[in-house]
Amino acid sequence: MGTARPAHDGAERQRGAVMSRAVLSIGSNLGDRLAHLRSVVDAFAPWLIRVSSVYSTAPWGGVPQQHYLNAVLLVDDPSADARDWLLRGQELEQAAERVREVRWGARTLDVDVVWCADRRSDGVRVCRSTDPTLTLPHPQAHNRAFVLTPWFEIEPEATLEVQGRPSPLRDLLDALDPAEREGVRLTELTLRRAEP
Ligand code: ADP
Ligand code: MG
């Protein structure tokens, strides 16, 4: 799959700064919801480390609409930086013919970059950005059970920085309103392909 620009400029390569690992939140509540989520798993197959179960989530924001299907992916690509993950996700949103009409309204596919880290010779560094076109870690992730629950399933040891302080996902989940947690239900659906 192509991206709009090269993953890294020469200067970044020379410094050895290579973004590699990301946590992606994917959601759909319009059309063939499972097929939309599977389109991400298929396109990201070369970089896929872990895939969560599929969860059904009550929509929020007051617009009447179907329940969402949500999942979280852990991906790794030594030649990709945070913006590459955003662009790759946006390409798939467009392929799913997502139309941005109503804020918080129904959407065929939403791909968000929740967290990203680069691996350097001196260790792993979490990516932070306040750029509104790519804010990292995702500023709402800690408030959303549909992100935290599937992420905790595939990476229970993970932490997420909230206001500069790393917190275990378990603690962030415990801090949520129980109604928010209970609104996210495990389904029997799966995004994992059967072994050939
Ligand atoms: P949302 O996901 O918040 O419901 P959209 O998918 O329509 O809304 O995204 C709106 C904008 O959010 C996008 O144009 C994108 O550039 C920006 N954005 C900022 N940070 C992120 C992030 N971490 N992941 C995905 N999009 C982001
Ligand atoms: Mg989005």
Residue 189 falls within a domain, yes or no? Answer: no
For ligand 2, the distance from its centroid to the CA atom of residue 14, given in whole angstroms, is 32
Buried b (16+ CB within 10 A) or exposed e, 28-59: bbbbebbebbbbbbebbeebbeebbbbbbbeb
CATH number at residue 125: 3.30.70.560
Residue 1, pLDDT above cutoff 50? no
CB 118 within 8 A of CB 136: no
Residue 188 falls within a domain, yes or no? Answer: no
Residue 179 falls within a domain, yes or no? Answer: no
Query: What pLDDT shows up at residue 65?
Result: 76
CB 136 within 8 A of CB 82: yes
pTM above threshold 0.85: yes
For ligand 1, the distance from its centroid to the CA atom of residue 195, given in whole angstroms, is 34
Residue 144, pLDDT above cutoff 70? yes
- Domains in the chain, number: 1
Residue 120 falls within a domain, yes or no? Answer: yes
Residue 183 falls within a domain, yes or no? Answer: no
Closest C-alpha to ligand 1, atom 25:
112
Q: Is 138 in the pocket of ligand 1 (CB under 6 A)?
A: yes
Query: What pLDDT shows up at residue 9?
Result: 40
**For 7-44, what is each residue's pLDDT tens digit?**
444 334 444 455 589 999 999 998 899 999 999 999 99
Residue 88, pLDDT above cutoff 80? yes
3-state SS record for 42-95: HHCHHHEEEECCCEEECCCCCCCCCCEEEEEEEEECCCCCHHHHHHHHHHHHHH
More confident residue, 132 or 78: 132
Residue 77 falls within a domain, yes or no? Answer: yes
Residue 66 falls within a domain, yes or no? Answer: yes
Residue 49 falls within a domain, yes or no? Answer: yes
Which domain, by its residues, includes 53? 10-138
**For 116-131, what is each residue's pLDDT tens digit?**
998 777 778 899 999 9
Q: Is 136 in the pocket of ligand 1 (CB under 6 A)?
A: yes
